[in-house]
């Protein structure tokens, strides 16, 4: 019974933690031709599942990532010596990449649609480049997910089954999420803003100054609620017009 409760709880947690992954995959795949988008989503989520299972099977290595690799001359807070681990480096560079990619996508959405049409920048977006970017961020998201799993469950099979169930739910919902985000430009910009926030959070977490996840998800949920009200209002206005 305890194992079942842990499985359900962990599965729900993995789905919540995977929201940012779904958004990132949805936005990146939307830049591809329509016939390649579903393939990119499936490959991205399949890789996320494989990465998380492999990380769970390498618990000793995961625990080793929290061990110090080198020291910085001083800490940002109290100017004392700061130890840097492998996990810190992954979160730092992952956060930078997410901030960069979110900023580029926001710029593309706000100003680049017409300028880049038919240009070299538009033609260089390929299935391989999109999947490569998804894989890079999958590693960062998977690390966070696996560390959460280790902290919530003691049995390896519970962690693996929870990861598989969560990814299957994401595979089932990613097409609907992608279609909704692509249909509503303001929602897409809002989603990119979430990714920007998550990137900043990862960056701060690499310095042990992370923003509590509850605050981040509450802000995201509240923003989505307000945006849903706006969309409903716009729909009513268009019906009246």
Look at residue 74 and tell me if it is in a domain: no
Write out the two tokens for 32: 């591809």
Distance (Å, whole) CA 78 – CA 76: 6
Write out the two tokens for 72: 């910085």
Which pLDDT belongs to residue 78? 58
Look at residue 75 and tell me if it is in a domain: no
Look at residue 76 and tell me if it is in a domain: no
Is 6 or 202 the better-scoring residue by pLDDT?
202
In which band, very low, low, confident or very high, does the pLDDT at 52 lie, cut at 50, 70 and 90? confident
Reduce the DSSP state of residue 68 to 3 states and report it: strand
Which pLDDT belongs to residue 220? 80
pLDDT digits (tens, 9 = 90+) for 63-88: 667 777 777 776 555 556 777 888 88
Write out the residue range of the structural domain in which residue 33 sits: 2-68+83-240
Look at residue 96 and tell me if it is in a domain: yes
Which pLDDT belongs to residue 124? 55
Beta-carbon-side half-sphere exposure of residue 57 (alpha carbons within 13 Å): 8
Percent of the chain with pLDDT over 70: 85
Look at residue 119 and tell me if it is in a domain: yes
Name, in order, each residue with C-beta under 8 angstroms of 182's C-beta and a sequence gap of 6 or more.
26, 30, 188
Q: What is the mean pLDDT of residues 4-18?
A: 80
Is 39 or 17 the better-scoring residue by pLDDT?
39
Q: Does residue 50 surpass a pLDDT of 80? A: yes
Which pLDDT belongs to residue 113? 53
Cα dihedral sign, 96-27-39-160: positive
Which pLDDT belongs to residue 121? 44
> Rounded to two decimals, what is the model's pTM?
0.72
Q: Does residue 120 surpass a pLDDT of 60? A: no
Q: Does residue 122 surpass a pLDDT of 60? A: no
Look at residue 111 and tell me if it is in a domain: yes
pLDDT digits (tens, 9 = 90+) for 179-188: 887 787 788 8
pLDDT digits (tens, 9 = 90+) for 146-169: 776 776 666 778 888 888 998 888
Which pLDDT belongs to residue 114? 46
Look at residue 171 and tell me if it is in a domain: yes
Look at residue 78 and tell me if it is in a domain: no
Backbone angles phi, psi at 138, to 5 degrees: -60, -40
Q: Does residue 202 surpass a pLDDT of 70? A: yes
The domain total for the chain is 1
């Amino acid at each position: 019974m305890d194992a079942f409760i842990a499985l359900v709880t962990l599965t729900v947690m993995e789905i919540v933690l995977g929201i940012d992954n779904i958004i990132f995959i949805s936005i990146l795949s939307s830049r591809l031709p329509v016939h390649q988008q579903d393939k990119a989503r499936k490959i991205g989520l399949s890789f996320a599942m494989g990465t998380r299972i492999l990380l769970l099977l390498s618990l000793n290595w995961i625990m080793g990532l929290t061990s110090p690799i080198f020291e910085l001359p001083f800490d940002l807070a109290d100017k004392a010596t700061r130890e840097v681990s492998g996990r810190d480096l992954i979160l730092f560079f992952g956060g930078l990449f997410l901030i960069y990619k979110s900023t580029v996508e926001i710029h593309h959405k706000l100003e680049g649609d017409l300028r880049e049409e038919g240009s070299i920048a538009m033609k260089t977006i390929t299935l391989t480049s999109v999947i490569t970017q998804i894989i890079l961020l999958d590693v960062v998201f998977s690390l966070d997910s696996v560390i959460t799993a280790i902290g919530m469950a003691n049995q390896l099979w519970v962690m693996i089954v929870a990861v598989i169930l969560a990814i299957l739910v994401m595979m089932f919902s990613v097409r609907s999420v992608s279609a909704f985000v692509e249909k509503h430009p303001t929602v897409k910009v809002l989603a990119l803003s979430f990714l920007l926030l998550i990137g900043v959070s990862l960056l701060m977490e690499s310095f042990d100054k992370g923003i509590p996840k509850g605050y981040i998800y509450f802000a995201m949920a509240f923003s989505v609620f307000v945006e849903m009200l706006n969309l409903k209002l716009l729909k009513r206005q268009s019906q009246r017009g």
